[in-house]
Amino acid sequence: MTKTDVSIAPATGKLGILLPGMGAVSTTFIAGIAAVNKGIAEPIGSLTQMGRMRLGKRSENRSATLKEFVPLADLKNVCFGGWDIFSDNAFEAASKAKVLENELLQQVKPELSQVKPMPAVFDPNYITQITGEYVKKGHTKMDLAEQLREDIRNFKKNNGCDRLVMVWCASTERYTEPAPCHQTIQAFEQGLRDNDPLIAPSQIYTYAALKERVPYANGSPNRSVEIPALQELAKELRVAICGSDFKTGQTFMKTLLAPGLKSRLLGLSGWYSTNILGNRDGEVLADPGSFKTKEVSKLSVLEQILEPDTYPSLYGKVHHQVQINYYPPRGDNKEGWDNIDIFGWLGYPMQIKVNFLCRDSILAAPIVLDLALFMDLAQRCNFYGIQEWLSFYFKSPLAAPGLKPEHDLQVQLLKLHNTLRFLGGEELINHLGLTYYGIVEE
Ligand SMILES: NC(=O)c1ccc[n+]([C@@H]2O[C@H](COP(=O)([O-])OP(=O)(O)OC[C@H]3O[C@@H](n4cnc5c(N)ncnc54)[C@H](O)[C@@H]3O)[C@@H](O)[C@H]2O)c1
C-alpha cells in the first residue's frame, strides 16, 4: 500500500465516545475534556492535543502538531456515553472516585451530570468484589448483545453522532483460558445463543461494538478483543481494534527502563514490583482471579522486551515478581516500588530503586482520549483489524498472530509517528542519518 491508496474521510460532525465502565478513569477523562473545552485546564499527556513530530530531514527544521497534520475529531465535537452497574451519573461517579478536586469538579458539573450510564451487561462470576443492581436482563448472552447493539444505535441517533468509538474502561474480569467458543465467529455466536459460561461480559460488549462497526479499544487486561473469534469478526466487518491494558504507572516505567538496560547489555537477575492503591480498581484486583489477569499482562512485558532465549546469560534467570495491594487510604494515588537487581561488566551486581508516587487515572485519561481520536482516524482511513501502531498506549499490545509485540516505548512512538507520516504523505524517518555526512546520497 502506498500513501496514494489511503484516502482519509474528514472528521466532520460529532464523534460519540462510548465507555463501558464509568469509574475513575472514565470520569477523569470526561471531566478533563470539559475542563479543556472551558479553557480551565490543559490536556497534558495527550499526544493528539499537545504532540508534535518532526517532518523531513533534520536540516529542514520542519515539524507539525499531530492534530494539524492528520484530521482528528475536535474536542468541541465529542460527546460521551457508557454503561455501568451503578446508575450514578458521571458527576456522582467522579465525586465518589475522588481523583479530582471538588473545586474542579464543580466547574464541570453541568457537563458531567448529563452523562448518565446505561444499564450494564454484568456477570458476578467474572467480577466478584463488586455488585450492582443496574444491569440488563436477557434469556441468553445473544439477547444481551442485541440490547447493547440497540443502546449503541439509540445513542448515535439521540446524540446526533456521525461516528462512534468504544474504549473499555470497566473493571478487570477474572482470568480465563482460551476455550473453543473463542476460536471462530460461528462458535462464538453459538456460545452467545447457548449462554456459554466461558463468554465474558467484556466479550459481549466487544461483539456488540464490532457488529455495529464501532472501533473498539481495550483498556483493561481482559481477554475481550484478544480472542481469535472477535479478531476475525473485526477483519470481516472491517473495524479497527486495539488493546490491551492502558500502559500507565509501573509498567510505563518498566518499558522505559528495561529497553535501556537491554540496549547497554546490562544483565538482570531480578525485578520486584509492588504497589499500593485504594481505588475501586484496586478493590476488584484484590480478587485473585482478577489479579491473575492483571499479573499475566504485567509479567509478559519484561520477557518480551528482554528476549531471554536470545540472551540467556543476561536474561535467562530473571526473577520477576509483581504485587498489587489494595490499601484504601491511598485512593487513586498509587505508590509503586521497584527493586531492580542488575549486573554489569564481569558480572558485578548493582541495584536500581524506583519509587513512583503516581495518580493512576491522571495517567490513564489522556490515553483514553488519544485512543478514541486515533481509533476514529483509523476507521476513517479504512485501517481495520489490529492497530499495532497504537501499541504505545498498552501494557500488552496486540500484534498479528506470529509477530512479537513491540514494547519499547521509543520504538512504539516511532511506529506511531511513522504511521501518521505515512498517512500524511511524508517521508518515513529511520534515523540512519548518513546523508548528512555525504556517505550516502539523498
Ligand atoms: N487507572 C489506570 O491507570 C489503569 C491502567 C491500566 C488499566 N486500567 C484498567 O482500566 C479499567 C478502569 O479502571 P478504573 O480505575 O476506572 O476502575 P474503576 O473501578 O474506578 O471503574 C470501573 C467501573 O466499571 C464498572 N463495571 C464493572 N463491570 C462492568 C460491566 N460489566 N459493565 C459496565 N461497567 C462495569 C464498575 O462499576 C466501575 O464503576 C480497569 O479494568 C483497570 O484495570 C486502569
Q: Does residue 84 fall inside a structural domain?
A: yes
Judged by average pLDDT, the poorest of 139-148, 171-180, 229-238, 291-300 is 291-300
Whether residue 295 has pLDDT greater than 80: no
Confidence of residue 434 (pLDDT cuts 50, 70, 90): confident
Give the Å distance between the CA of 220 and the centre of ligand 1: 8
Q: Does residue 429 fall inside a structural domain?
A: no
Give the Å distance between the CA of 173 and the centre of ligand 1: 10
Do residues 219 and 103 share a domain? yes
Do residues 143 and 235 share a domain? yes
Do residues 396 and 330 share a domain? no
Residues with CB under 6 A from ligand 1: 20-25, 83-86, 97, 120-122, 127, 130, 132, 169-172, 201, 219-220, 245-246, 248, 279-281, 284, 360-361, 363-364
What is the mean predicted confidence (pLDDT) over 240-253? Answer: 92
Give the Å distance between the CA of 379 and the centre of ligand 1: 25
- Cell digits of residue 76: 468541541
Give the Å distance between the CA of 2 and the centre of ligand 1: 39
Helix or strand (DSSP H, E) at 27: helix 24-37
- How many domains does the chain fold into? 2
The C-alpha atoms of residue 281 and residue 41 are separated, in whole angstroms, by 26
Task: Write out the E strands in 133-237.
Answer: 163-168, 216-218
The C-alpha atoms of residue 235 and residue 239 are separated, in whole angstroms, by 6
Do residues 158 and 34 share a domain? yes
What residue owns the CA closest to ligand 1's atom 42?
220
Do residues 273 and 340 share a domain? yes
Whether residue 174 has pLDDT greater than 70: yes
Do residues 341 and 374 share a domain? no
The C-alpha atoms of residue 329 and residue 256 are separated, in whole angstroms, by 29
Q: Does residue 435 fall inside a structural domain?
A: no
Do residues 41 and 154 share a domain? yes
The C-alpha atoms of residue 15 and residue 378 are separated, in whole angstroms, by 13
Give the Å distance between the CA of 169 and the centre of ligand 1: 5
Ligand 1 probe mutation, 29, 171, 207, most atoms within 8 A of CB: 171
For residue range 107-134, list pLDDT tens digits in order: 999 999 999 999 999 999 998 888 888 9
pTM reported for the whole predicted model: 0.94
- Using the structure block, give the residue that is written with the C-alpha cell 484496586: 282
Determine the atom of ligand 1 nearest the C-alpha atom of 122.
31
Give the Å distance between the CA of 171 and the centre of ligand 1: 3
Mark which of 306, 331, 357 sits at the end of a domain: 357
The C-alpha atoms of residue 431 and residue 382 are separated, in whole angstroms, by 29
- Using the structure block, give the residue that is written with the C-alpha cell 510505563: 252
Do residues 60 and 177 share a domain? yes
Residue 42 vs residues 23, 49, 84, 110, 195: alpha-carbon distances, Å: 22, 9, 28, 19, 46
Give the Å distance between the CA of 223 and the centre of ligand 1: 14
The C-alpha atoms of residue 180 and residue 250 are separated, in whole angstroms, by 34
Q: Are 332 and 358 in contact (CB under 8 A)?
A: no
Determine the atom of ligand 1 nearest the C-alpha atom of 28.
16
Q: Does residue 394 fall inside a structural domain?
A: yes
Amino acid 333: pLDDT = 84
Give the Å distance between the CA of 333 and the centre of ligand 1: 15
Mark which of 335, 357, 379 sits at the end of a domain: 357
Q: Are 135 and 20 in contact (CB under 8 A)?
A: no
Amino acid 4: pLDDT = 57
Confidence of residue 242 (pLDDT cuts 50, 70, 90): very high
Whether residue 345 has pLDDT greater than 60: yes
- Using the structure block, give the residue that is written with the C-alpha cell 472501533: 215
Q: Does residue 436 fall inside a structural domain?
A: no
CATH code, domain carrying 271? 3.30.360.10
Q: Does residue 437 fall inside a structural domain?
A: no
Cα-based angle 185, 210, 4 (whole degrees, multiple of 5):
110
Q: Does residue 418 fall inside a structural domain?
A: yes
What is the mean predicted confidence (pLDDT) over 218-246? Answer: 96
Determine the atom of ligand 1 nearest the C-alpha atom of 83.
33
Amino acid at 346: L
Do residues 213 and 318 share a domain? no
Amino acid 309: pLDDT = 94
Q: Which of 396, 373, 96, 356 is nearest to 220 (CA)?
A: 396
Whether residue 339 has pLDDT greater than 60: yes
Ligand 1 probe mutation, 96, 123, 281, 333, most atoms within 8 A of CB: 281
Mark which of 342, 357, 372 sits at the end of a domain: 357
Residues forming a β-bridge with 167: 217
Q: Does residue 378 fall inside a structural domain?
A: yes
What is the mean predicted confidence (pLDDT) over 218-225? Answer: 94
CA dihedral 243→244→248→250, nearest 10 degrees, is -150
Confidence of residue 80 (pLDDT cuts 50, 70, 90): very high
Amino acid 379: pLDDT = 97
* Domain of 299, in residue numbers: 250-357
Amino acid 297: pLDDT = 67
In the chain, % of residues over pLDDT 90: 77
* DSSP 8-state secondary structure symbol assigned to residue 357: E
Q: Is 5 exposed, middle or buried (0-12, 13-18, 19+ CB in 10 A)?
A: exposed
Determine the atom of ligand 1 nearest the C-alpha atom of 93.
39
Give the Å distance between the CA of 186 and the centre of ligand 1: 29
Q: Which of 346, 22, 326 is nearest to 167 (CA)?
A: 22
Percent of the chain that is helix, strand, coil (3-state, to 5): 45, 20, 40
Amino acid 285: pLDDT = 73
Judged by average pLDDT, the poorest of 156-160, 224-228, 396-400, 437-441 is 437-441
Do residues 234 and 275 share a domain? no
Amino acid 351: pLDDT = 98
Amino acid 76: pLDDT = 97
For residue range 39-69, list pLDDT tens digits in order: 999 999 999 999 999 999 888 999 999 999 9
Amino acid 304: pLDDT = 87
Judged by average pLDDT, the poorest of 86-100, 284-298, 406-420 is 284-298
Give the Å distance between the CA of 157 and the centre of ligand 1: 27
Amino acid 332: pLDDT = 80
Ligand 1 probe mutation, 25, 144, 147, most atoms within 8 A of CB: 25
Determine the atom of ligand 1 nearest the C-alpha atom of 395.
6
Amino acid at 358: C
The C-alpha atoms of residue 377 and residue 420 are separated, in whole angstroms, by 10
Do residues 172 and 292 share a domain? no
312-335 burial code (b ≥16 CB/10 A, e <16) = eebbeebebebebebeeebbbbbb
CATH code, domain carrying 90? 3.40.50.720
Do residues 262 and 131 share a domain? no
For residue range 296-335, list pLDDT tens digits in order: 767 788 888 999 999 999 999 999 998 888 999 988 888 9
Amino acid 1: pLDDT = 56
H-type helices in 237-359, by residue range? 250-263, 280-285, 288-306, 312-315
Amino acid 239: pLDDT = 98
What residue owns the CA closest to ligand 1's atom 32?
120
Dihedral of alpha carbons 191, 195, 196, 197, sign: positive
Whether residue 161 has pLDDT greater than 70: yes
